[in-house]
Amino acid sequence: MKTTVEQSLRALLSDKTANGELGPGSRLPTERTLVEQLEAPRSAVRRALDVLESEGLVTRHVGRGTFLTESARTGADAAPPDTSPVEIMQVRVVIEPPVAMLAARLATQADLDQIVKHLQAGGTSNTFEDFEHWDAKLHRAIAHAAHNGLLLSMFDVMNTARTLPVWGTLKRRTSTPERRACYHQEHEAIVAALVDRDPQEAERTMRAHLNHVAENLLGRI
């Protein structure tokens, strides 16, 4: 039977993977940070990490830290490892515009405050990695604001595909400061529609944004 600390650690890593903070090869927070976040003794955190390491979900390197492995996202709650960028964008276009429409209707003020926070952080990002981090958090915050657990679960499965190497390589190769600035402007339009509680505009701006991303990445889908 899993310990409470192990369950909490798995939930923490699952959340960080779903919102784009972690992917295969990412370094986990330090043991000291995990002790604080999980509010658990260091010995219990180490035992939980031992279990995850034995399952091949993490790997530890002396002097470097603990890293998430490729196996961490190959379960039933992850996108198939052979998912292509075309498939990712097809699913995003199907799911995210209606989700934005729901979010415009159902978001709480706390949801909107979080969305705006992520938008602003993305706007001040100076690197590809930072922008991608806040981009992932923004889109998930919008999905969360729809307050539909099933939709959020579907979104999270789709979102794990963003950690696939083929996706990251393609995004990096096609990313420029000018394109990131353009994406940020499109994000601003989406968030403005959410704040205005305009479902149709939220759906339209999200669809336009994703179609633009797909065009830049793939030509068209």
Specify which residues 68 forms β-bridges with.
58
Asked if CATH classification 1.20.120.530 holds for the domain at 85-218, the reply, yes or no, is yes
Which residues touch 141 (CB under 8 Å, ≥6 apart)?
A: 111, 114, 115, 118
Q: What whole-number percentage of the chain has pLDDT above 70?
A: 93
Tokens representing residue 137 in the block:
């958090």
Q: Summarize the confidence of residues 23-32 as an average pLDDT.
A: 86
**Residue 188: what pLDDT?**
98
Q: What are 122-175's pLDDT values in tens digits?
A: 999 989 888 988 998 899 999 999 999 889 888 888 877 776 777 778 888 999
Amino acid (1-letter code) at residue 208: A
Task: Please say whether the beta carbons of 174 and 82 come within 8 A.
Answer: no
Distance of CA 7 to the CA centre of its chain: 21
pLDDT surpassing 70 at residue 199? yes
**Residue 2: what pLDDT?**
46
Q: Per-residue confidence at 1, pLDDT binned at 50, 70, 90?
A: very low
Domain ranges of the chain: 4-73, 85-218
Task: Please say whether the beta carbons of 182 and 53 come within 8 A.
Answer: no
Residue 82, helix vs strand vs coil? coil
Does 152 or 204 have the greater pLDDT score?
A: 204
Query: 17-26, 93-102, 117-126: which has the minimum mean pLDDT?
Result: 17-26
Tokens representing residue 146 in the block:
């729809």
Q: What whole-number percentage of the chain has pLDDT above 90?
A: 52
Residue 48, helix vs strand vs coil? helix
The rounded distance, in Å, linking the Cα atoms of 112 and 144 is 10
Q: Summarize the confidence of residues 52-60 as an average pLDDT.
A: 80
Q: Summarize the confidence of residues 56-74 as an average pLDDT.
A: 77
Does 62 or 191 have the greater pLDDT score?
A: 191
Q: Summarize the confidence of residues 87-110 as an average pLDDT.
A: 96
Sign of torsion over alpha carbons 90, 92, 124, 194 = positive
Does 137 or 200 have the greater pLDDT score?
A: 200
Q: Per-residue confidence at 76, pLDDT binned at 50, 70, 90?
A: very low
Residue 87, helix vs strand vs coil? helix
Query: What's the start-to-end Cα distance of the chain, in Å?
Result: 46
Q: Summarize the confidence of residues 79-95 as an average pLDDT.
A: 89
Tokens representing residue 71 in the block:
């196996």
- Residue-averaged pLDDT of the chain: 88
Q: What is the CATH number of domain 4-73?
A: 1.10.10.10
DSSP secondary structure code for residue 65 in this structure: E
**Residue 58: what pLDDT?**
85
**Residue 71: what pLDDT?**
61
Which residue is it, tokens 């701006």? 205
Tokens representing residue 2 in the block:
């899993």
Residue 27, helix vs strand vs coil? strand
